[in-house]
Amino acid sequence: MNAPLDDREGFAAFLLRLRGRGIVPKDLITAFEATPRQMFIPGQWHDIAWSERMIPIECGETIEGADLQAAVIAALAIEPGSRILEIGTGSGYSAAVMARLAARVVTVDRYRTLTEQARQRFEALGITNAFARQAEGSNGLSGEGPFDRIVVWASFDSLPRAFVDQLSSGGIMIAPIGPDEGEQVMAKLTKLGSRFEREDIGVVRFQPIANSVAAAI
């Protein structure tokens, strides 16, 4: 079944922006193209699915703009054998894309509604190596590491040192670091021994990471 014209045009514009920024890994572009973005976004926002805008989803949360998701996933340098931990499932879109590049993706969110919807979307797309669960992820998933890649879609006020032990040697973590209010820096943290080597890859605005699960939703 062919994608709607507005979706194809939106994807084409998205690709042009990525190429303009030098983000052109073929496997990454193939993974985005194979993952129908409109399936992860409420209907009233379908016409801007491939835009740079953050889009509202259930539980008062948002899905990041397509460009930011692509930049972060590219910076993760995912390999076919990579085991990935994602904190902040949201709609499940980034986990679905990463699952096409990696061996296994575990994605957690504090909202049960979001993880259940993500599971349903993975199943509908035949994605069998992405696993969504409700959990409090401010300190990762200490019982399940090590992971080769960790990505967090919520901000820390300082370097998240608790995650060092959950990364494999040479592993990469990407997370926003900065004050709760205002801008943060998206930092790429590479594990070297027992420390992180830090590279800043952009300025973002995210909500601070929560240290509890949602009781009702």
Residue range 171-192, pLDDT digits in tens: 999 999 999 998 999 999 999 9
Tally of CB atoms within 10 A around 212: 8
Cis status of the peptide bond prior to 146, with omega within 30 of 0? yes
**DSSP-derived pairing of the beta strands 55-56 and 62-63:** antiparallel
137-163 tens-digit pLDDT: 999 998 888 999 999 999 999 999 989
Structure tokens at 180: 């709760």
pTM metric for this prediction: 0.95
Tally of CB atoms within 10 A around 113: 16
Q: How far is Cα 122 from Cα 102, in angstroms, rounded to an integer? A: 15
Q: What is the pLDDT of residue 30?
A: 97
Q: How far is Cα 36 from Cα 100, in angstroms, rounded to an integer? A: 13
Q: Which neighbouring-strand residues pair with 188?
A: 174, 199
Q: What is the pLDDT of residue 1?
A: 45
Q: Which neighbouring-strand residues pair with 108?
A: 87, 133
Structure tokens at 170: 């040479």
For the chain, what percent of residues have pLDDT higher than 90?
A: 86
Domains annotated on the chain, with CATH: 5-204 (3.40.50.150)
CA distances in angstroms from 57 to 27, 42, 78, 214, listed in the order given:
27, 7, 26, 16
